Amino acid sequence: MESRSVLLKEAHALQCDAEDGLARFREAFYIQPGIVYLDGNSLGLLSRRAEEALLRALDDWKTRGIDGWTEGDNPWFYQAERLGAMSAPLVGAEPDEVVVSGSTTVNLHQLAAAFFCPEGKRSKILADELNFPSDIYALQSQLRLRGLDPADYLVRVKSRDGRYLAEEDIIAAMTEEVALIVLPTVLYKSGQLLDIPRLTAEAHARGILIGFDGCHSVGAIPHRFSEWGVDFAYWCTYKYLNSGPGGVGGLYVNRKHFGRLPGLAGWFGSDKEKQFDMEHDFTPARTAGAYQIGTPHILSMAPLFGSLEMFAEAGMEAIRDKSLRQTRYLMDLIDMELPDMGFVIGSPREDERRGGHVSLEHPEAARISQALKAHGVIPDFRAPNVIRLAPVALYTSYHEVWRAVQVLKRIMQEKLYERYENKRGVVT
């Protein structure tokens, strides 16, 4: 760690930017003047390349009409699979193990419907009490559809401190009654990164299938899902992958499960050679493409072509290295600039346990978040007391991290947050 006097200086941040190998990608994004955007773990910024890709898709629609499905540089009929292949290196998968389709919750419903096969005593789903609510809603629904009461058949591992999950506790809950495990790769509040290979190995040693929600890691953390033997995973693309609000989701299915029927069959899960035979006998694709349901959202998918090109150029290892450096720098500055102001850093200090954002806990978090926005720093608030700050490797500068802490320091010293109510907005 650099000395305190060096870290606190603005010149240090500027020097880090001058030495940053990913700094060139910042120019590709639309960054509003005077704004420090630290909410990319909720909605990533628009890039010029994503915009250009969307405009090309609109032009194909304008000039080709129905022929856009089979003509042009990116025929619509094959886009889900092509984007899946482009996404595969981000999660450590083979190209045919990934498809871009649906949304996070739709994809979880699809995967749970396929992989949750209660039989005899093995009839429960294991999740955790800190997971994002939508995942829990979906799992509860899947149980009800099978006539099982979620109160009895959905097991949620408890957190010891309300902030983190202990892998030992998760493993202890892997009993002979569990048929399926669904966990986050990164906890959405604290930013804790779970030990995915360890949990996967422990689940398989007990004959349990396991899948992961990668919404808060894909695009920020490299994974090796195929090597680790993860059974399935799903994620959104509008956070770190910068596909735009409501952007299409992604899913991974380990090739050892190819041939398993999707739980929710739909036309676009068909073998491409058979799809337009219009038969009532479903012939699923022999890849992860089988888990598609309806017609792809072409205009929602288009920006990903431009975005994923940048990830291929930057490389996930370089992205992860910068992300760790920036989150560590952010935590160091908070420690030094904001002592005795009521803040608790709720994210793991260890690099190997931390995702892509820093969680700041404070009793006045909602008011402080509003004050930050009013002073040009865009955070993310999560009830009841969490401010999430996410430096994003492709477009956040070290100087912006330094500036954000200076703004936060002023807000606290001058009590500017007292001008606002300590309650969340409709969308946080």
| pLDDT lower than 70: segments of the chain | 1-3, 426-428
Catalytic residue (choose from 37, 225, 238, 268): 238
Q: How many domains does the chain have?
A: 2
pLDDT per position as a tens digit, 98-111: 999 999 999 999 99
238 is catalytic: yes
267 annotated binding-site participant: yes
pLDDT per position as a tens digit, 76-89: 999 999 999 999 99
120 and 197 housed in the same domain:
yes
73 annotated binding-site participant: no
Catalytic residue (choose from 189, 239, 354, 382): 239
233 and 369 housed in the same domain:
no
426: in domain: no
Catalytic residue (choose from 388, 395, 398, 417): 388
321 annotated binding-site participant: no
307 and 328 housed in the same domain:
no
In one-letter notation, the amino acid at residue 18 is: A
295 and 387 housed in the same domain:
no
239 is catalytic: yes
Q: How many residues does the chain have?
A: 428
Model's pTM, two decimal places? Answer: 0.96
Instruction: Confirm if 41 and 357 have CB atoms less than 8 A apart.
Output: yes
Q: Which residue segment(s) compose the domain that 379 sits in?
A: 4-30+315-419
Spatial CB neighbours of 143, under 8 Å, sequence gap ≥ 6:
125, 149, 150, 153, 154
353 is catalytic: no
Residue-level pLDDT at 424: 72
295 annotated binding-site participant: yes
Residue-level pLDDT at 11: 96
Measured distance CA(288)–CA(257) in Å, rounded? 9
128: in domain: yes
131 and 238 housed in the same domain:
yes
Residue-level pLDDT at 1: 47
237 annotated binding-site participant: no
38: in domain: no
336 and 271 housed in the same domain:
no
388 is catalytic: yes
Measured distance CA(316)–CA(173) in Å, rounded? 33
23 and 99 housed in the same domain:
no
101 annotated binding-site participant: no
- Among candidates 84, 331, 107, 326, which has minimal Cα distance to 220? 326
213 is catalytic: yes
39: in domain: no
